[in-house]
Structure 1
Amino acid sequence: MDRLNRTWPQTFVLTGFGAPGPVRPLAFLATLGVYVLTLASNSFIIVLVQADAGLSTPMYFFLGVLSFLEVWYVSATVPTLLLTWLRGRPPIPAAGCFLQLYAVHSLGMTECSLLAVMALDRHLAICRPLHYPALMSRKAQLGLAGAAWVAGFSAALVPAGLTAALPFCRKQVAHYFCDLAPLMRLACVDTAWHARVHGAVIGVATGCNFVLILGLYGGILRAVLKLPSAASRAKAFSTCASHVTVVALFFGSAFVVYVGLPGSQAEGTDKCIALVYTFLTPFLNPIIYTLRNKEVRAAVKRVTIRVGTALNQH
């Protein structure tokens, strides 16, 4: 505890985004509105997947798990963003700052693994349809989802732990949440070694999953091109389009921020790009996965009729 008192300031200060005073209330309301919609839409998917038997397939099970993760992921960063709009530069206790750092990275790396698991599900469904029910049993679904969470929360211990052990000479974090690069800029010592370790851990966690996704979709592409009719090829591609879009958004923005960390991005650039994977992607995921999905629309209709009938009976 004495060592922590010597190396940690009592609080860090989140500088957030520079904006004129009159703009802040509007930014707060817009951020709050998107945050509430994100929570509501992802929660709706979780409830719908549980409530409708027509969505009791592995694909929708993993979509429900992804929505559950997104509720926590967006909640790990947006409350402090809202505070920066309200209070300008809110202080955050040092312990809370490092806890937020761990939460953001553990949830982010869990999402990397979960997106790879969802690609595996699509690969098995398209490339091995006869064996798909046995390969993707309920036990396998739970095991794969659990492994994604364990992998993410385990890998995040390394960058969070190493960063928390640094001595800090300054306390103004140039971000709207506690992230690696802004915190490392505040350290009193050379962080080159830490940066290499962080890059290795995050690179393995994101890079291996990304390469796995590319390999699985390579197999899907070969299988789909062998299908006899254009209609069957279009149907197969349509089941993957939403996932590919989410993968591109999430991995693209995360690679820009974390590859070459720290100092590869101009100070302030990383927090703008971070909005994509911590805020925009959780908001867009329910829209991307459900907007053109006939099964989800049919499930909504069935659940609505069932609820309406139950209310009328009472």
Structure 2
Amino acid sequence: FLVFLALYTLTLAGNVVIVTIISVDRHLHTPMYFFLSMLSASETIYILVIIPKMLCNLVGLSQPISLAGCATQMFFFITLAINNCFLLTAMGYDRYVAICNLLRYTVVMNKKVCMQLVGGACSIGLIVAMTQVTSVFRLPFCATKVAHFFCDIRPVMKLSCIDTSVNEILTVIISVLVLVVPMRLVFISYILIISTILKIPSAQGRKKAFVTCASHLTVVIVHYGCASIAYLKPKSENTRDQDQLISVTYTVITPLMNPVVYTLRNKEVKDALLEAMGRKLP
């Protein structure tokens, strides 16, 4: 309980700080940091949906969750998880334009385009969540205990009295669409980015370009890696302990990566934070 409470507090505080710093510092009013603030806001709501209930369960204070409560938790979990995936993809596109098409950056990544990308990410999350939740909660349930610390898709489907093969296929198809497709887009973006960086004649210029992308790439690898293991592995390989360990990683550890990576590795965010705290910048 103490470990998860500490991680929850750090994650919540870190993401709130990032959103606040980006909103008050004019130097960070750029597309890159706009997407970062949206990701941090989404991560904040994401952990609020899952971790408080989990902490209550750990100390035995939680009451049984209702069917409607379980469906609501699953809906917000899916919506925000998919929203995060596509926000990371939008951030990858932003880095691609900034490095490979710098002269047209302000034209391509204008405010309208940024809002459309964020709105698209959220809309996809909402549509997929409604589809998944409707399909799962139309099933007849015989068991009443979810063998998990939150209402995830597969643990809830295991409570059904009937064969859930159709739902399993739907889950796999959706997982491929919201994980593999964005991953490929990010992968292609970084192939183009790296090829452009390697053509920069100055070693200092190459280093600066790599540093610009390092934080985003780190978060992408951890986020997509954990989600892919959880939802793209064969059903036969699933065990309760493995599922819970993987779920802890992408619901507790991964959201902490965002503030840690972007505050420790990003000089602009660190400088803005130090300035906001009233300290002298080095």
- Unpaired runs of at least 5, structure 1: 1-27, 307-314
SS where residue 65 of structure 2 aligns?
strand
Q: How far off is 1:89 after superposition?
A: 7.4
4+ aligned runs moved over 6 Å, structure 1: none
Match of 1:188 in 2: 161
Give the letter for the 2:6 counterpart: G
Aligned residue runs from structure 1 range 127-276, under 5 A: 127-260=100-233, 262-276=235-249
Deviations 1:270-289 (A, max 9, x none): 11101111111111210101
Deviations 1:229-272 (A, max 9, x none): 22111111111111111111111111111114644311231111
SS where residue 172 of structure 1 aligns?
coil
> TM-score, normalised on structure 1?
0.86
Give distance in 2, aligned partners of 1:157 and 1:202.
15
- Unpaired runs of at least 5, structure 2: none
Deviations 1:161-214 (A, max 9, x none): 110111111011111000111111111000111100111012111111111111
Give distance in 1, aligned partners of 2:62 and 2:147.
10
> Are the equivalent residues in 2 in contact too, given 1:158–1:201 (CA < 8 A)?
no
CA RMSD of aligned residues (A): 1.5
Match of 1:103 in 2: 76
Give distance in 1, aligned partners of 2:11 and 2:197.
33
> Which of 19, 23, 31 is the equivalent residue of 1:46?
19
Q: How far off is 1:37 after superposition?
A: 1.6
> Are the equivalent residues in 2 in contact too, given 1:116–1:209 (CA < 8 A)?
yes
Q: Measured at CA, do residues 260 and 190 of structure 1 come closer, stay the same or move farther in structure 2, by a change above 3 Å?
A: farther
> Are the equivalent residues in 1 in contact too, given 2:89–2:182 (CA < 8 A)?
yes
> Which of 254, 271, 275 is the equivalent residue of 1:281?
254
1:71 maps onto 2:40 in alignment: no
Q: How far off is 1:305 after superposition?
A: 3.2
